[in-house]
Structure 1
Amino acid sequence: MSITSAVANAHAAAAAGAGKKAAQVQLQAELATDDEWGKFLHRDGLLVVDVYTEWCGPCIGMVGNLKKIKVEIGGDNLHLAVAKADTIECLKRFRNRSEPTWMFLAGGQLVNVVFGADAPRLARTIVEELKNEELVKKGEKERPQRAPHELTPPELEVALAREKLLQERREKETAAAEAARLGRREKRAVRLEAHFADICPGLMMPHAQKNLRKVSDTLEPYGVLVADKCPLVLGKDGARILAMEDPEFAQPEAAAALAERPSLALLLKKMPDKEGNIIELTRRALFGDGLDAEDEQRNKVAAEELRANGMPGLFVPADRHQRASILDLLFPKMVGALVQPPTPPEPPHIAMVFGAWQRRAILQIVAAPNLASRILRYGFFADANIKEPKLLCKNIDKYEERPEKDHSETIILMVAVGVAEPLLVEPKDIPPDGPPDELITLGPLHVSEDTVVGAEECERFFPPGYSEPEHKPRPKSKKKKKKRQETKDEAEQGGSVDTADTLDDADNGGEGSPDGEGEGDVEGDPDGDENGDADEEEEEDTHVDKATSPPPTAT
């Protein structure tokens, strides 16, 4: 064969190979925008779309099976595509999911959805839907009328089951949060009751302060006196606390008055010879609590007379929990002189476990302003054991000092997924429910299923006292050691030693004696410390850091 013929055959073979490669590339259309999605839906025949997300990616392992099906069965009646759910609005229900998802469309309608990388099932579904599409074209069958964004019956069933589980989880979390709140209030009430059993706070709104004498006269027959009073502007935060105790004060007019104008804080005290609970006595006198609805006295209670334009004029706690809360609000100095302020409650939280080799990426993400306040604690642990965690160290600096690291080591985060008292913060300051998407994209090894389980897990990872600073022994002053050395030199040269200096050394635990000096030399020679540090650095260089890159993949 001539050289010319050989070259021609080579070019023909190359062109054929390029054609096959191009056909392979065009086997699946790539859809990443709403426009591309809309154009693809107008194609004739059966459309099979592999829906994926940015952090998971399309199902590569099914490409060979799809190609075989298209060549042997589908032909021009079968069109394949991969679609990115993150950037296509119609596919938003598939975002943040790692399960392979296959959509079957025809005539712009959604005819079926298959979940999971089940090759035989996917093949059977393609064959079945191709036959259905042929029957539709012959007029022997009607195509389901379902828009691509609508749920199929199996999807609807799964969505309802998921919603039921979500509702159960929310109810469990709400019950746990309420129980924790009641526990905190009861604990605080008991502590304050030991000192303020005969004390009750009260508050008169700005428009009602002129009626202080009326309030005082009403209380006196019940054995309650106004022991102290002071004007006070609650501010926005204080107004929220009061509104949480009594929803009447959450009215916009009342909240604005409390936040901007001075109210009158009252300190009510029971007379020594009067029996009964001061809260009950005060409420009966001012609000008519305990009186019959038909009682004439109830219709003339002071609280009703102090109302103006539907806005309450007076607040008095209804129980010991409210009394403790309002005492902390109105008289913090008086309470603080006898009882420590309450510890701020921790927000609902979960645990997130990652491989320690991801530590730099994780700490960089959580340093962002929108996430920094949500990371309550973190630490490094020997492995991903949830039941019996083994702490290695509490911060990144200590972890980096470790000479040996391993792939099994983990970094565990305590992440807030809400606030302890939602009524006390602005809605915009409440973090979204669930773990942050920025961390989910990194593929955590474990995430607490809800805040109830998260609280249990975090208590094992971060027990009480975890965040308290570690106390380090104070090193001995090198200046004193130098002084001792000079004293020794003077003694060797025959010089006299000042008696005052000798007494000072004796008072310092005999540091001027030979024994004390020897002890100082053992504990820390500056040169020795530097050499020791250098040796440690050299030793670190000889170890391989197994936790700076992902663990090896299985072969």
Structure 2
Amino acid sequence: MAKKGGVQQLQADIQTDEDFEKFLERPGLLVLDIYSEWCGPCLGMVGSLRKIKLEIGGDNLQLAICKSDTISYLKRFCKKSEPTWMFVTKGKSTNLLFGSNTPKLMKLIAQELEMLNKPQRTFYEITELQPEEVIRRKIKQDAEMEAISKEKAAKKKKRHDYLNSMTDTIIENMPDMGVTIFGPHINRDMYKKVLEPADNMKLQCKDRRVISVTRADFDVVNYACPNPLPDDVLDQLDQKDLMMCFWKMPEDDRRPIPEVLNTYAHMLTKERHEVDMLTEEEIVHPPVLLPMDLTIEIELEEGEEWEEEPEPEPEPVPKKLHIKNEESAAQAATAETAEGEDNEGEEGSENADEVGEVGEADEGPEIPDLPDLPMNALDLDFDLDDDKEREEEQKAEQVVEVVVQKRYRKKVIRIPPIWVAGNARTHAALIYVFFRQQTTGFLPPDPIPEPPHIIMAFDAYKKRDLLSVAERLKDDVPRYGFFSNDEAGEAKLIANSAAKYATMPQNPTDKIVFKVNKQTSHTMLSLATYGPSYVSADAVIGYEEALKFFPESYKTAEQEALEQAEKEAKPKKKKSRTKGEAAEPVTTTSGEDSGESRPPTAREESAEDESALEGGAAEASEQPTVVEGGGTTAAEAPTEGAPANEAAVPPGAETSGSGEAVGSDQVSTEATPPLSAEEKTPQVAPTEASTAE
């Protein structure tokens, strides 16, 4: 407790703006230890700070710990895990130090004390970024941009790999199929004309559809296309209905699909020349299909020049500008007044006639003469001057409609009547996007896209209540984990389950982070009742943050347990087969597959029987028993000298009725007859043994 009191006495504890402003008014050098709530102040340097204050600082050195979470001047240091030291003189910052390097901090304090009264100093506002901060921020931004670019590249590669696998499957199953896309001016009525050249080429149209296309469709189609349609053409085709044909190549034509369909497109778009047999005159037939030229107008930006003069444009929508120029306002007001007087002249005459008729018809009672009153008896000040001033101000600020003439340039976009992709992969992509029903027999359905989601972070000590909610709503909470903080990209994974987290050292700053699907609002509301420390602003930010907290390599506790079980299961199976072979070497009845000949009961033996068999097999292998006649027991039967293609059952071994051998523990050495001379010879290769026989 004495040490804690000493810390408080040595360093002022500042947590509010008011206390911070008062502390900055102190004379001398102020050294601020800036900390965040979850990180805490740097207490490891208290001893060194006390020493330097007593030795060289004295009253010229003032120390304080400042909580950045509650001091608005220090907001930029919130959620920083690195110790930060700010040096302040006369209410201005002079230097910054990051890190917990004690010698460096002591040296810098000594230097700042020496320069305390020197006028040639560079001062910064407390809220101003210092050069060290600018450098660090740029490094961080560059790292973030690099990470984003890598993430985009990885996402693009993943998408391309998936499309490659889909198109490879289509090419493998439909090697002679292709697609042509016709322009929006080619309709169903022209289909017969389009089909005639195809019939001459023996092209078969297996499917014909009119499809409303989008730019997103062509983003998939053109991912590996060598001749994509230009962007301005795609802009005009967006949301347009296009006719598409799904072709089967002729069986006797071995040319690539793009070459065959380009020949077909050439026949549709080029002139045909024929010679009349009677007159011997050349007859020119126009193309079956012609391109469509669209003229669009593009607004010129300010200062942009264009060679062509724009044609007269329809009157644009006038823009209202506030003009406070008195002359312009006066001119506009004069024009309006003149128009108003002309209109009021006619209306005034009509109104005057009506008033006169009414006055003649209905005369009111006579008003008696009032006595003369002194001028000062009535206050006749009705603020008329103020009204005039208001009217003048209103006229000066009157909104005047000013027509701003816009400039345009013309651009002609040529839309081709037919488009043929330049490689077989793009034709497969066209089938994948527009003729997916043709691939149902061999192409699996696309995976269900992941729903939009956000990140919600909480203090780790709330884990019990939060995990019960997450378990109840686990369909909407696919991922969770324990992290060092809730800062995406900086947080370190501590554990992926509560059981693992319980076995690790815990800090009060630890967070439990959930990836929450944003499909239903009640899930987020149920979790929000426990006071999250951070929630993603929207689904776009949540998607990016989820990739940082839970990358593709992240595995839940259930996934790790399943993989561990699979790994443990595989060695067990191998070991059990080895045990069976070692314990029952005499049970093999076939050289082709010795494992199938073991009786089923041998696989289902208890652990005690297995250990007993292991022990017997080991003793038999280490100390072979010699029987009468110089032979060995059955435990030595499956040696290298035994031919691999012959039965391994020793003579005299008992077999079951089905031809399977009985276990080695049932074979007696007394029942084993003497072996022949060839069988006595150890380490005989199979080929030599067969030759000897």
TM normalised by structure 2 equals: 0.42
Write the deviation string for residues 291-312 of structure 1: whole angstroms up to 9, x where unpaired: xxxxxxxxx9999814534375
Q: Does 1:184 align with 2:162?
A: yes
Q: Structure 2 CA distance, aligned partners of 1:21 and 1:379? A: 39
Write the deviation string for residues 197-231 of structure 1: whole angstroms up to 9, x where unpaired: 22223444545546656765676676645432123
Mapping of 1:319-338 within 5 angstroms?
319-338=423-442
Distance 1:286 1:43, change over 3 A: farther
Task: State how many pairs are aligned.
Answer: 381
Counterpart in 2 of 1:272?
A: 251
Mapping of 1:389-404 within 5 angstroms?
none
> Which of 540, 564, 585 in structure 2 is aligned with 1:430?
540
Read off the aligned partner of 1:50 and give its amino acid letter. Answer: D
Write the deviation string for residues 255-314 of structure 1: whole angstroms up to 9, x where unpaired: 69644x5443432332233231213433565499xxxxxxxxxxx999981453437566
Give the drift of 1:92.
5.4
Read off the aligned partner of 1:58 and give its amino acid letter. Answer: P
Give the drift of 1:99.
1.3
Distance 1:41 1:287, change over 3 A: farther
Q: Looking at secondary structure, tell me which structure has more helix per residue.
A: 1
Distance 1:132 1:224, change over 3 A: farther
Q: Structure 2 CA distance, aligned partners of 1:311 and 1:96? A: 56
Write the deviation string for residues 51-106 of structure 1: whole angstroms up to 9, x where unpaired: 22342233244456546655665455444444444566765554443111112233
Gaps of 5+ in 1: 1-16, 289-299, 381-393, 417-426, 441-446, 449-453, 467-555
Read off the aligned partner of 1:327 and give its amino acid letter. Answer: I
8 Å Cα contact 1:206-1:264 kept in structure 2: yes
Counterpart in 2 of 1:485?
A: none
Counterpart in 2 of 1:111?
A: 94
Mapping of 1:54-65 within 5 angstroms?
54-63=37-46, 65=48
Q: Structure 2 CA distance, aligned partners of 1:218 and 1:112? A: 81
Distance 1:465 1:50, change over 3 A: same
Distance 1:176 1:258, change over 3 A: closer
8 Å Cα contact 2:35-2:67 kept in structure 1: yes
8 Å Cα contact 1:355-1:407 kept in structure 2: no
> Which of 82, 86, 97 in structure 1 is aligned with 2:80?
97
Task: Please identify the structure whose Cα radius of gyration is greater.
Answer: 2
Give the drift of 1:191.
0.9
Q: Structure 1 CA distance, aligned partners of 2:207 and 2:129? A: 65
8 Å Cα contact 2:221-2:426 kept in structure 1: no
Write the deviation string for residues 153-195 of structure 1: whole angstroms up to 9, x where unpaired: 5555555555565555555545544443332222111211122
Q: Structure 1 CA distance, aligned partners of 2:176 and 2:47? A: 82
Write the deviation string for residues 233-259 of structure 1: whole angstroms up to 9, x where unpaired: 4578657645867886876x9569644
Q: Structure 2 CA distance, aligned partners of 1:216 and 1:158? A: 67
Give the drift of 1:129.
0.9
Distance 1:341 1:156, change over 3 A: same
Q: Structure 1 CA distance, aligned partners of 2:26 and 2:289? A: 74
Q: Structure 2 CA distance, aligned partners of 1:190 and 1:327? A: 12
Give the drift of 1:114.
1.5
Distance 1:362 1:75, change over 3 A: farther
Q: Structure 1 CA distance, aligned partners of 2:480 and 2:7? A: 50
Counterpart in 1 of 2:112?
A: 129
Counterpart in 1 of 2:676?
A: none
Counterpart in 2 of 1:308?
A: 294
Q: Structure 2 CA distance, aligned partners of 1:221 and 1:436? A: 57
Secondary structure of 2:116's aligned partner: helix
Write the deviation string for residues 406-452 of structure 1: whole angstroms up to 9, x where unpaired: 61599999979xxxxxxxxxx97434576569xx9xxxxxx78xxxx
Secondary structure of 2:173's aligned partner: coil
Read off the aligned partner of 1:197 and give its amino acid letter. Answer: P
8 Å Cα contact 1:229-1:266 kept in structure 2: yes
Distance 1:245 1:187, change over 3 A: closer
> Which of 175, 178, 191 in structure 2 is aligned with 1:197?
175
Mapping of 1:505-516 within 5 angstroms?
none
TM normalised by structure 1 equals: 0.51
Q: Does 1:29 align with 2:19?
A: no
8 Å Cα contact 2:160-2:223 kept in structure 1: no
Q: Structure 2 CA distance, aligned partners of 1:368 and 1:68? A: 57
Distance 1:103 1:190, change over 3 A: same
Secondary structure of 2:174's aligned partner: coil
Secondary structure of 1:308's aligned partner: strand
Q: Structure 1 CA distance, aligned partners of 2:472 and 2:128? A: 36
Distance 1:199 1:151, change over 3 A: same
Give the drift of 1:341.
1.9
Q: Structure 2 CA distance, aligned partners of 1:29 and 1:414? A: 34
Mapping of 1:399-478 within 5 angstroms?
407=503, 429-431=539-541, 435=545, 454-456=551-553, 458=555, 462=559
Q: Structure 1 CA distance, aligned partners of 2:441 and 2:13? A: 74
Q: Structure 1 CA distance, aligned partners of 2:288 and 2:557? A: 53
Q: Structure 1 CA distance, aligned partners of 2:128 and 2:287? A: 59
Distance 1:335 1:365, change over 3 A: same
Distance 1:303 1:77, change over 3 A: farther
8 Å Cα contact 1:248-1:312 kept in structure 2: no
Give the drift of 1:131.
1.7
Distance 1:254 1:42, change over 3 A: farther
Q: Structure 1 CA distance, aligned partners of 2:481 and 2:29? A: 52
Counterpart in 1 of 2:443?
A: 339
Q: Structure 2 CA distance, aligned partners of 1:322 and 1:63? A: 69
8 Å Cα contact 1:355-1:409 kept in structure 2: no
Q: Structure 2 CA distance, aligned partners of 1:47 and 1:147? A: 14
8 Å Cα contact 1:415-1:435 kept in structure 2: no
8 Å Cα contact 2:34-2:86 kept in structure 1: yes
Secondary structure of 1:430's aligned partner: helix
8 Å Cα contact 2:182-2:419 kept in structure 1: yes
Counterpart in 2 of 1:469?
A: none
Gaps of 5+ in 2: 268-285, 296-412, 483-495, 517-536, 564-693
Q: Structure 1 CA distance, aligned partners of 2:204 and 2:545? A: 52
Q: Structure 2 CA distance, aligned partners of 1:110 and 1:257? A: 60
Read off the aligned partner of 1:131 and give its amino acid letter. Answer: E
Distance 1:395 1:168, change over 3 A: closer
Read off the aligned partner of 1:278 and give its amino acid letter. Answer: I
Q: Structure 2 CA distance, aligned partners of 1:361 and 1:457? A: 24
Counterpart in 2 of 1:227?
A: 206
8 Å Cα contact 1:28-1:79 kept in structure 2: no
CA RMSD of aligned residues (A): 5.7
Q: Structure 2 CA distance, aligned partners of 1:372 and 1:51? A: 42
8 Å Cα contact 1:219-1:282 kept in structure 2: no
Between the aligned residues of both structures, percent identity stands at 26
Q: Structure 2 CA distance, aligned partners of 1:284 and 1:464? A: 59
Distance 1:107 1:355, change over 3 A: closer
Read off the aligned partner of 1:305 and give its amino acid letter. Answer: P
Read off the aligned partner of 1:191 and give its amino acid letter. Answer: T
Q: Structure 1 CA distance, aligned partners of 2:63 and 2:167? A: 67
